[in-house]
Amino acid sequence: MTLSTETPPQRVRLSRSQATALITPEQIAASPLARYRTLVDDWDAFAAALGRPLPPCIWANPTRISVAELADLLAEQGLDAQPVPGLPAALRLPEETKAGRNWWYCAGLAHAQEEVSQLPAMLMDLAPGQRVLDLCAAPGGKTAQIAFALGNRGTLVANDIAHARIKALQGNLDRLGVVNVTTTCSDGANWPSASGQFDRILVDAPCSSEGTLRRTPSLLPRLDPDSGLRLGPRQRALLRKAVQRCRPGGRILYSTCTFAPEENELVVADILAEHPGMLRLVPAAVPGFVAMPGVTHWNGRELPPELAHCLRIWPHHRDTGGFFMAILEKDAGCPAEPTPEPAHLDDTDSVEWLAGLNDKYGLSGDYWTGYRANRQTRRGLHLMAADHAPPAVPLAESSGLFFHRTNVRPPKPSTGGALLFGRDITRFGVSLNTQQRDRYLRRETFDPTPEQRAATPTGQIILSYRGHVLGVGVLHRSGVIESLFPSRWSGCAA
Residue 160 among known ligand-binding residues: yes
Element (H, E) at 344: none
Strand partners, 311: 293, 325
Question: How far is 229 from 232, CA to CA, in rounded Å?
Answer: 6
Question: Which residue out of 207, 246, 257, 492 is catalytically annotated?
Answer: 257
Q: Among residues 111, 164, 169, 116, which one has the least CA distance to residue 140? A: 169
Start and end residues for every CATH 3.10.450.720 domain found in the chain: 428-494
Strand partners, 402: 382
Residue 100 among known ligand-binding residues: no
Question: How far is 246 from 217, CA to CA, in rounded Å?
Answer: 37
How many Cα atoms sit within 13 Å of 138 on the Cβ side?
A: 19
User: What pLDDT, on a 0 to 100 scale, did the predictor assign at position 472?
Assistant: 98
Backbone angles phi, psi at 161, to 5 degrees: -80, -20
Residue 140 among known ligand-binding residues: yes
Q: Where are the beta strands (DSSP E) in 314-450?
A: 323-330, 371-377, 380-385, 396-399, 401-405, 412-413, 429-431, 445-446
User: What pLDDT, on a 0 to 100 scale, did the predictor assign at position 491?
Assistant: 53
- Answering whether pTM is above 0.85, one says yes
CATH class name, domain 57-330: alpha beta
Q: Hey, what amino acid is at 133?
A: L
Q: In sequence order, which ranges of 280-371 are alpha helices (DSSP H)?
A: 315-318, 350-361
Residue 211 among known ligand-binding residues: no
Question: How far is 155 from 399, CA to CA, in rounded Å?
Answer: 10
Question: How far is 96 from 55, CA to CA, in rounded Å?
Answer: 8
Q: Among residues 139, 74, 136, 142, which one has the least CA distance to residue 105? A: 74
Q: Among residues 254, 251, 303, 323, which one has the least CA distance to residue 280? A: 251
Question: How far is 20 from 215, CA to CA, in rounded Å?
Answer: 10
Question: How far is 8 from 6, CA to CA, in rounded Å?
Answer: 6
- Residues 6+ away with beta carbon under 8 Å from 454: none
User: What pLDDT, on a 0 to 100 scale, did the predictor assign at position 142?
Assistant: 98
Strand partners, 84: 87
Residue 60 among known ligand-binding residues: no
Start and end residues for every CATH 3.40.50.150 domain found in the chain: 57-330
Q: Among residues 58, 150, 174, which one has the least CA distance to residue 420? A: 174
Catalytic residue check, 207: no
Query: For the purposes of burial, counting CB atoms within 10 Å of the CB of 494, is it exposed (0-12), middle (13-18) or buried (19 or more)?
Result: middle
Residue 280 CB neighbours (<10 A): 13
Residue 129 among known ligand-binding residues: no
User: What pLDDT, on a 0 to 100 scale, did the predictor assign at position 6?
Assistant: 32
Q: Among residues 426, 430, 433, which one has the least CA distance to residue 473? A: 430
User: What pLDDT, on a 0 to 100 scale, did the predictor assign at position 288?
Assistant: 83
Residue 204 among known ligand-binding residues: yes
Query: What residues of the chain score a pLDDT lower than 50?
Result: 1-20, 494
Are 174 and 414 in contact by the 8 Å Cβ rule? The answer is: yes
User: What pLDDT, on a 0 to 100 scale, did the predictor assign at position 492?
Assistant: 57
Q: Which CATH code of 3.40.50.620, 3.40.50.970, 3.10.450.720, 2.40.128.110 fits the domain covering 428-494?
A: 3.10.450.720
DSSP-derived secondary structure letter, 439: H
Cα of first residue to Cα of last residue in the chain, in angstroms, is 49
Q: What's the Cα-to-Cα distance from 161 to each of 109, 309, 363, rounded to whole Å?
A: 28, 30, 39
Ramachandran region, residue 103 (left: φ > 0; alpha: ψ -120 to 50; beta: rest): alpha
Hey, is 345 helix, strand or coil? coil
Question: How far is 306 from 294, CA to CA, in rounded Å?
Answer: 9
DSSP for 135-160, written as a single string: TT-TT-HHHHHHHHHTTT-SEEEEEE
User: What pLDDT, on a 0 to 100 scale, did the predictor assign at position 489?
Assistant: 77
